[in-house]
A and B are shown apart, each in its own frame.
Chain A
Amino acid sequence: MVGGRLWRAGYRHQRRHAWQTLLSVLGIALGVAVVMAVGLANQSTNRAFELTMEQISGRVTHQVLGAPAGLPESLYRDLRLAHPDLPAAPVVEGQVELAGEPFTLLGVDPLSERPFRSLTRGRDGALLQRLLGGESGILISAYTATRLQLEKGDEISLEIAGRQQSVRLMGLFGDPGAAVVDGILVADIALAQTLLQQFGRLDRIDLVLDPAETSNLEEWLPAGFKLVQTRQRTDAMANMSHAFQTNLSAMSLLALLVGGFLIYNTTTFSVLQRRRQFGIMRLLGATRREVFRIIMLEQLLIGLVGTLLGLGAGILLARELLHLVTRTINDLYFALTVSRLDLSAEILLTGLLLGLLTTALAATAPAWEATRSQPHTVNRRSEIERRSHRALPWLLSIGLLGIAGGWLLVQGSERSLLQGFAALFCFIMGYCLLVPTMVPPLARLLQYPVQGLFGSIGRLASRGIDATLSRTGPAIAALTLAIAATIGMGIMVDSFRGAVSQWLSRTIQGDIYVSAPESASKRASAALPEGLPERVRQIDGVGEISTGRHVKVESDNGPVDLLAIGLASTSYRGFDFKSEPLPQLWQRFAGGGIALVSEPYAFHHRLGTGDTLDLLTPDGNRTFTIGGIFQDYGSDRGLIVLPREHYQALWNDPSVTTLGIYLASGAELQPVLTRVRQATGQADQPLRVRASREILAHSLEIFDRTFTITRVLRLLVIAVAFVGILSAMLALQLERAREHAILRATGMTPGQLLGQVSLQTLLMGLMAALLAMPLGWLMSEILIQVINLRAFGWSMPAQLNPVILLEAIAFALLAALLAGLYPSLRMARTAPAVALREE
């Protein structure tokens, strides 16, 4: 039983050190808020994805898929004739934009829909009849209509591959109060085909099949078509953004880890400050368990307040992050509209538990330490420091063990992302334990130059760091972790950006590119007008052209992006192979049967040069030999490259989606650009004509946009860390009030004291910055070589930008200086007699 007086003693201690308590609460609140916000944003996007898929798939169990250009309508007719009792529905699906947001346009046949989806039934039950009656228009969910302030009968403008199309809002589906369905537009299949310019073609045929019927249907299907399970396909889509979301979660956990460190620090200081008090309690007969319990309960209470505040702040932050996460998913993976946070009791409970668990873990060691305080040593401060120094070999051993554990985890698996993150956390924790062991030698090293520069004040400042290791050790470790995190993440993003920039410069060999407008960064997939390459070739100033056809095809590993290229003479330089390609690669590539695969594709599917892969062509599966594995940062799902001539022959698809123009010798860019724009302006559809430098700039802009969320998370980690440092420094300096009072009483002026304290905190900041560099580098190496590779399949060289290191040093010094300023000012102003009073 923990008594009221013990509680009161703790409560009043916290009240007397309100700033410290507040910073502790703020630290955990920020940590929890970041984890909550990322969790909520991820959950909301996942839920939105599930709901969209549920609406789009309905009761569909299987789908018939085919060539990139779609399935002929005749296949559906033949299927109905051959299997009249089989529930089957033709579907056309495409991406459109409404009010600047991405939407999935679902074209369905109202007659076949009934067994599949409820979308066309509408809220008033009359939509089907109106569709059947030949009325034309689209349907939208009631929730979306309310959100976009649309009403039945409104004329709405859709942007489809750069074209504006006006359609009538014919009706609403779904209940505004029910689970939110957003981002779907439904139209009659004929209207959808017109809008998407997919005349006579379907995207798939949806089916409700008994498992027993699948083999019959598979046998019946003509070559070039494939029967797939809907669940498998939905899972494959959901998995696309899985790695991205895992990375975000891990980064948010880093914020919580820093927050946990903050709690550890605050608890340690709180215990150190009250060590004497706990000793007295023990002398009076309080058992170790009682002392442990009182500290843990007190910290858990602080943790609870911080966690509850963090949950609230997390919800607010999640609204902002949701926008960033959705934009990145739209940029990189698939079209998704998420307009509402999916706030569940489960995620709130997870946040609550995470906050309390982190608090409990962080507080356990200091609380346990408090119970070890021998009652008879309450007056011996030196004993605490002696024990701190005696603990150094243990910290060294455990720290080295942690690092060794991290190394083993990295070596243990080449693919496990979870193991990669576990290794990262082992390295971080191991290194943080090593920090206090490195403080005494560093302090000794810095002592002489500091003494030379600042005299006795410098000596006092540097000696004080080693002499109060029990306090300075954890504070420097916390600061080291924070700075290392900024260095590690900084190097990773910088290296990534550098690698992408180099890759783009190498890949974009042409001078001008023509493609159909496509939202965001996705590779263009809409076909260019027929005959355009030939017309462009005739333009004055055009030397060579390269052509590209980007499609999604079915492979034995599911749907995959395929780029069929007609290379110009210099296009080959655009490929950077990660390993030795097959001999006489380009000759064999041009001859057919050879595919080039991107690094992520090879990594995810464990493929190497010389291996084979199967792609579904209209004539059935076709096997290709992998000629080489090239670097590609365009997609983390991977890309397969084939020669366009062979693709055209195999898939019977002459379309081109991208045109690369190489200027003739001596031709100037601007006049040719103008001429190409004039030539393409006559086409029926709007086309995008851009100089390569515009594409480069645009791509880097998208890269930066993609990493906005990373930068936001990095800033949040820094914010948590700053609160941690402020708290640690504040506690440290306040805890040494008596020592400072003695110095003041001995004759040190307030200015000298201010100088000494500021110098000491600056030295601690400098030590943390120096110690953070190896950890920061280590973190960047793991993020680049392990996490990025395992999550996305991308390898890249680490680029150490000195600016990042200088920024880190500046941050460390500034944080330390700011954090030391208040306590030193306070100490300088306090009358020594007040601080000298023992009790």
Chain B
Amino acid sequence: MNNKPLLVVEQLSHSYREGRETRPILNGIDLQIAEHECIALLGRSGSGKSTLLNMLAGIDTPQGGSIRVMGQEIHKLSERERTLLRRRHIGFVYQFFNLIPTLTIAENVGLPLELNGYPEAEISRLVGFILSDVGLGNRWAAFPDQLSGGEQQRVAIARALVHNPAIVLADEPTGNLDEETGKHILGMLLGLSKQLRRTLIIVTHSLEVAQRADRILTLNYGRLSEQGELHW
């Protein structure tokens, strides 16, 4: 790692209760991610990838260990402080797009900027740029249900990047798309992240996707290993 660590995870542990039993999901995870790095996180279904991502974003709280994002120990922050940290420094792309159905494409993309207090003129300008970048410059007035799955995911990527966050988290962003569209979307996400020098952590099942990342991490039975062997 050439750059200073942006994200530091130490001895992170978490478990879920299933009836009377407790199922450990993360077990003493240590991880450091540097600025502008692109990380692929692999693991079988239910291995805890999404849980780890949620914890890095501060939307889930670990039961043990610590997470430092940009020098701040997020588990020690209040709910409001965590929200503000996420609002300013984190962008999220989901498998199921999670666009707001009652807002147009442009309004969906502009939402993080508005929450961050950007003036309206600046929002229009930035939204225009990013929508052009994702190839939807002419669809800004459409509503999500008027777009295809691939187009919706492009909107979600634009929304995750528009406010210039330091970290972009992508949770199986191609999982809900056909192979062709998936490749295109992934290329766009990786390309834009590199171009904009963002730190990208992408959860995926695809080795092909993973191979395009700077590092590959594998989550197996709650433990994290670098370029580890996959047990599908």
Contacts and interface: CB of A to CB of B under 8 A. Distances in A.
A556 interface: no
A374 B60 contact: yes
A284 interface: yes
A837 B145 contact: yes
Contacts of A290: 115
Contacts of A281: 100, 111
A280 B160 CA distance: 12
Interface stretch (B25-33, B38-46, B101-109, B182-190): B101-109
A306 B200 CA distance: 49
A211 interface: no
Contacts of B145: 837, 839
Contacts of B98: 276, 279-280, 283, 378
B114 A283 contact: no
A285 B102 contact: no
B103 A8 contact: yes
Interface stretch (B3-11, B62-70, B76-84): B76-84
Contacts of B87: 284-286
A834 to B, nearest CB: 9
Contacts of A289: 80
B114 A3 contact: yes
Contact of A374 (B59, B103, B110, B115): B59
A12 B79 contact: no
B115 A3 contact: yes
Nearest to B91: A284
A13 B102 contact: yes
A4 B110 CA distance: 10
B105 to A, nearest CB: 12
Interface string A1-39: 101111011101100100000000000000000000000
Contacts of A5: 103, 107, 110-111, 114
Interface in A813-839: 837-839
A839 B101 contact: yes
Contacts of A280: 98-100
Most chain-A CB neighbours within 10 Å: which of B98, B100, B101, B110? B100
B144 interface: yes
B83 A839 contact: no
Contacts of A381: none
Contacts of B120: 4
Contact of A283 (B84, B88, B92): B92
A376 interface: yes
Interface in A355-406: 374-376, 378-379
Most chain-A CB neighbours within 10 Å: which of B83, B87, B152? B83
Given A8-B103, A280-B100, A379-B96, A285 B88 contact: yes
Interface residues of B, number: 34
A376 B98 CA distance: 11
A397 to B, nearest CB: 23
Given A5-B110, A288-B83, A374-B60, A12 B102 contact: yes
Given A12-B103, A283-B98, A374-B59, A839 B115 contact: no
A288 B152 contact: no
Contact of B112 (A4, A10, A284, A376): A284
Contact of B114 (A4, A379, A839): A4
Contact of B84 (A13, A276, A287): A287
B117 interface: yes
Contact of A839 (B92, B107, B117, B152): B152
Contact of A376 (B60, B80, B97, B152): B60
Given A8-B103, A8-B107, A1 B152 contact: no
Contacts of B103: 5, 8-9, 12
A277 interface: yes
A487 to B, nearest CB: 41
Contacts of A283: 57, 59, 86, 92, 98
Given A284-B159, A285-B88, A288-B83, A16 B114 contact: no
B80 A288 contact: yes
Nearest to B92: A283
B54 interface: yes
Contact of B79 (A4, A288, A379, A838): A288
Nearest to B152: A839
Contacts of A277: 100-102
Most chain-B CB neighbours within 10 Å: which of A277, A290, A374, A375? A375
Contacts of A8: 102-103, 107
A277 B101 CA distance: 8
Interface string A265-294: 000000000001101111111111110000
A374 to B, nearest CB: 7
Nearest to B144: A839
Interface in A653-712: none
Interface string A428-451: 000000000000000000000000
Contacts of A379: 96
B72 interface: no
B20 to A, nearest CB: 16
A282 B83 contact: yes
B116 interface: yes
A375 B50 CA distance: 12
Nearest to B103: A9
A376 B59 contact: yes
Contacts of A288: 79-80, 83
Contacts of B60: 374, 376
Interface in A117-174: none
B83 A287 contact: yes
B212 to A, nearest CB: 25
A9 B108 CA distance: 9
Contacts of B112: 284-285
Given A3-B115, A9-B102, A285 B107 contact: no
A286 B83 contact: yes
A839 B99 contact: yes
A289 B84 CA distance: 12
A692 B39 CA distance: 98
Contacts of A12: 102-103
A286 B115 contact: yes
Nearest to B60: A376
B208 to A, nearest CB: 26
A374 B97 CA distance: 17
Nearest to A13: B102
Nearest to B81: A287
Nearest to B116: A285
Nearest to B80: A287
Nearest to B104: A8
B144 A284 contact: no
Most chain-A CB neighbours within 10 Å: which of B57, B80, B102? B102
Contact of A1 (B83, B84, B86, B117): B117
Nearest to A379: B96
Contacts of B88: 285
A47 B112 CA distance: 57
Contacts of B114: 3-6
A375 to B, nearest CB: 4
B86 A285 contact: yes
A281 B88 CA distance: 14
A286 B88 CA distance: 11
Contacts of B99: 280, 839
Interface in B4-24: none
Interface of A: 1, 3-6, 8-10, 12-13, 16, 276-277, 279-290, 374-376, 378-379, 837-839
25 contacts: A3-B114, A3-B115, A4-B114, A4-B120, A5-B103, A5-B107, A5-B110, A5-B111, A6-B114, A9-B100, A12-B102, A12-B103, A276-B98, A277-B102, A281-B100, A281-B111, A283-B98, A285-B83, A285-B88, A286-B83, A376-B60, A379-B96, A839-B97, A839-B99, A839-B145
Given A12-B103, A287-B84, 8 more contacts: A3-B111, A5-B111, A6-B114, A9-B107, A16-B102, A281-B111, A283-B98, A284-B92
Please list the 5 inter-chain residue pairs (A to B) with the smallest Cβ-Cβ separation, ordered nearest first: A285-B87, A12-B102, A3-B114, A375-B59, A839-B144
